[in-house]
């Protein structure tokens, strides 16, 4: 920002000194506040993919579950896992594996709504919190994510087929945030057991292709 002071007559030396002191009293607390906000943001964000991290997920999911319960609004959770990611690391190295993680995170971020949030749960797993989302809406979102990741095609100049398995769950009455996440994780496990590159849910039937 910029602060400008005007008047017809020139300011005296004493007045200029007081202005400088007042500006210092304003600037330094603002600078400290901005530095603190940046430090908090970095602490809650995965430096590799730019997604929010697991600590941020735990805090946000509990808050969203409580908010949805109070307001009587739907809430969806998507648990995403990159298929055969270990083979990518073993074949092409961890540096290329990092490129794949970034590419997938970017594809998911471009697919979800601005009201949704993407978190890196750990390794090659990601979670999306979709607030105000009915099960059918979460299903559609998961399908778009699956399709858009499969369409990546090239990573770091190398042709690469990338797919993800997704488990989804909608919040149930009285359900805790941990239980909701476990149910989405269970659906993800079924997606991988049933052939990968597909969406599974505890709320309704599976979709997608192997």
**Catalytic amino acids?**
124
Q: b/e map of 157-189 (b: 16 or more CB within 10 Å)?
A: eeebebbbbbbbbbbeeebebeebbebbbbbbe
- The Cβ of residue 85 has, within 10 Å, a number of other Cβ atoms equal to 18
Q: Can you read off the two tokens belonging to residue 156?
A: 């770091």
Strand duo 164-170 + 75-82: pairing? antiparallel
Which spans in the chain are helix H? 13-43, 54-71, 85-92, 94-111, 135-150, 177-193
Residues facing 69 on adjacent strands: none
d(CA 114, CA 80): 18
How open is the CA angle 208-132-203, to the nearest 5 degrees? 40
* Dihedral sign for Cα atoms in the order 199, 160, 124, 38: negative
Residues facing 75 on adjacent strands: 131
């Amino acid at each position: 920002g910029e602060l400008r002071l005007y008047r017809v007559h020139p300011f005296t030396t004493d007045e200029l000194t007081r202005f400088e002191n007042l500006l210092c009293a304003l600037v330094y607390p603002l600078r400290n506040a901005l530095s603190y906000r940046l430090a908090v943001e970095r602490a809650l964000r995965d430096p590799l993919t730019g997604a929010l991290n697991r600590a941020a997920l735990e805090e946000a999911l509990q808050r969203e579950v409580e908010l949805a319960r109070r307001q009587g609004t739907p809430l969806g959770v998507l648990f995403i896992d990159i298929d055969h990611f270990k083979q990518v690391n073993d074949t092409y190295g961890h540096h290329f594996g990092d490129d794949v993680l970034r590419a997938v995170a970017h594809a998911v971020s471009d697919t979800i709504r601005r009201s949704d949030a993407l978190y890196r749960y750990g390794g090659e797993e990601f979670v999306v919190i979709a607030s105000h989302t009915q099960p059918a809406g979460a299903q559609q979102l998961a399908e778009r994510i699956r399709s858009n990741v499969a369409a990546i095609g090239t990573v770091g100049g190398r042709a690469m087929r990338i797919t993800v398995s997704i488990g989804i769950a909608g919040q149930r009455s009285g359900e805790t945030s941990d239980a909701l996440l476990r149910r989405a994780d269970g659906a993800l496990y079924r997606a991988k057991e049933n052939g990968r590159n597909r969406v599974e849910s505890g709320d309704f039937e599976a979709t997608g292709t192997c």
